[in-house]
Structure 1
């Protein structure tokens, strides 16, 4: 079982971000991921966000052991010919530790800010599929010629190649049937985008079947879940859960209703004492065939460096040894 971190870092300084990911590595986490957002989600729209692939280059150069990557870069954000160069460079800087996280979802307001259309889901999946074809060709071939419905490349060159053999790991965020088929062809890692335990198991099994259909070894695919972790000093029950969340919201200066919705609407979340978290992690991951939990402390848009790092230290101290 791997435990990794989604280090959001909205509102942080660049110095805090670097200190943060270096400590994530020191604490023993498997991987550190960065989200791919042009700006913060609506509730925190006034806080700053760094360009993720620039930051991943810095992360690559200032860490040495843990995997690094995006979670996830949306289809259509960057032309795949350019993205091949960006990711190859990051893989070189990391000495082959890069995970290229991609997905077919995106925030409509971020697309509109670039004057780009927010396409229907199946169109976005089709774009992603073409992007993956182009990336894998440019990562591994001398020159790439490609003509698709959404992209075209003529004599594309990507030198130097990535260090990873045969190419950087591809992580895909997956929920629907169309993405299951794409994952069966391309994914080395899959992040299951649902809180439903039974649905998670179905997604994993269906992707393994698709992998077999495509002549791939399904056992080589790593499956993960993204989880919000909110630690408390007291034992949490159905009776006191809401009050605990509202008290934490006031402590970190967030609207209580916004924090409650974020935690309850998130893919999967733990609210409770650190000593009981390892058992919850196992029930939510290894017991249903998941190999990696990716944690986000308190809520996906917290902007407190100190609070985030304190939570990551608590998880490393109280939970990691039991996984």
Structure 2
């Protein structure tokens, strides 16, 4: 099993002056600890489950580019980019740039978007649910086209690109990995089966996560996709300060038993992974997980 880290809260005591140095240290410590991935939310306002909208929030791809410059191995992605935030051709160019400059470490984390408050606040269009999913599928189709170095015109219901040229091409082969976030069974998980390299499900407990995996398996059968080709990731919130290593290994082990490949640790609390040495336990956790199978 792989472990990743999502940094979702930048309300640190020395903000805003210390955000850059602190985030750089967190990224380096995650990299050096052997974590597989580093993620930031792609939001413009803080989300209500973590804090009020006025709390500090960084733009996702600028933050990841900064993290790329201070790390060497860890993969980098948003969990996840809302389809409404950027025009799809520019989004794919952005992810390609991150991939090239990081040496092939970028993910395209993407979803249908949901936070209407930040859309209205910053003047970003927020179409209805059906249209957002249509736009999401068109972007996924375009990603596969642009990352295959095919610059023929793209014609969709919502997007028209006369020449989706993408040079330089990404370093990751065959392209930056595509992760779709969300658990909607009719649309989101169908798109996972059709277009994605990975899914991301919130940690609802092993039984409910397993039910989502079963839906993905069914969609894979429908479209002729090998279910095992899709990396199963779970985003979990944990109290790293108050859970023992054995408790965490047990929790992650239960997720592993149902086929989870990659657990991403979220720091909902303001005081968390930004503390020096907070990730020192990660190598031990990884050793225990590997030893337990």
Is TM (by shorter chain) over 0.5? yes
2: distance between equivalents of 1:96 and 1:80?
Answer: 20
Cα distance, 1:180 vs. partner?
1.3
1:83 aligned onto 2:91: yes
For 2:129 and 2:248, locate their aligned partners in 1 and report how far apart those are by CA, in whole Å: 35
- Checking the alignment, whether the CA contact within 8 Å between 1:175 and 1:194 is kept in structure 2 is no
Report which of the two has the higher share of helix.
1
- 1:138-181 deviations in Å (ceiling 9; x for gaps): 12224141221221111121111111122110001131111111
Secondary structure of the corresponding residue to residue 156 of structure 1: coil
1:289 aligned to 2:259? yes
2:137 to 108, 129, 141: 129
Does the residue aligned with 1:172 lie in a helix, a strand or coil? strand
Q: Does 1:319 align with 2:290?
A: no
Displacement of 1:98 in angstroms is 1.1
SS of 2:34 mapped into structure 1: coil
CA shift for structure 1 position 52: 1.1
Shift of 1:128: 0.7
After superposition, where does 1:126-165 map in structure 2 within 5 Å?
A: 126-165=134-173
Please report the TM-score for the alignment, with normalisation by the length of structure 1. Answer: 0.80
CA RMSD of aligned residues (A): 2.1
Q: What is the TM-score with the length of structure 2 in the denominator?
A: 0.88
Structure 1 residues 62 and 231: CA distance shift in structure 2, 3 A = closer
* Structure showing greater relative contact order (alpha-carbon pairs closer than 8 Å, 6 or more residues apart): 2
Per the alignment, in what secondary structure is the counterpart of residue 163 of structure 2?
strand
Report the counterpart of residue 22 of structure 1 in structure 2.
28
Instruction: Tell me by how many angstroms 1:201 deviates.
Output: 1.6
For structure 1, the residue ranges without an aligned partner over 5 or more in a row are 234-271
What SS does structure 2 have at the residue aligned with 1:319? helix
The one of 236, 253, 267 equivalent to 1:227 is 236
Larger Rg: 1
Mapped partners of 2:147, 2:121: distance in 1: 30
Question: Could you tell me which residue of structure 2 aligns to residue 52 of structure 1?
Answer: 60
Which range moves more in the overlay, 70-79 or 4-13? 4-13
Q: State whether residues 67 and 97 of structure 1, in contact with CA within 8 Å, keep that contact through their aligned partners in structure 2.
A: yes
Answer yes or no: is 1:185 the counterpart of 2:191.
Answer: no
The equivalent of 1:118 in structure 2 is 126
Paired with 1:196 and 1:19, the residues of 2 have a C-alpha distance of: 31
The structural deviation recorded for 1:194 is 5.5
1:299-320 deviation line (CA, Å, top 9, x unaligned): 2x5266644x554334x15522
> Which residue in the other structure is 2:103 paired with?
95
Q: How many residues align?
A: 280
**Residue of structure 2 aligned with 1:203, choices 212, 229, 242:** 212
Distance, in Å, in 2 between the alignment partners of 1:213 and 1:125 is 19
1:274 aligned residue? 245
Return the alpha-carbon distance in structure 1 between the equivalents of residues 55 and 271 of structure 2.
8
- Alpha-carbon distance in structure 2 between the residues aligned to 1:306 and 1:59: 14
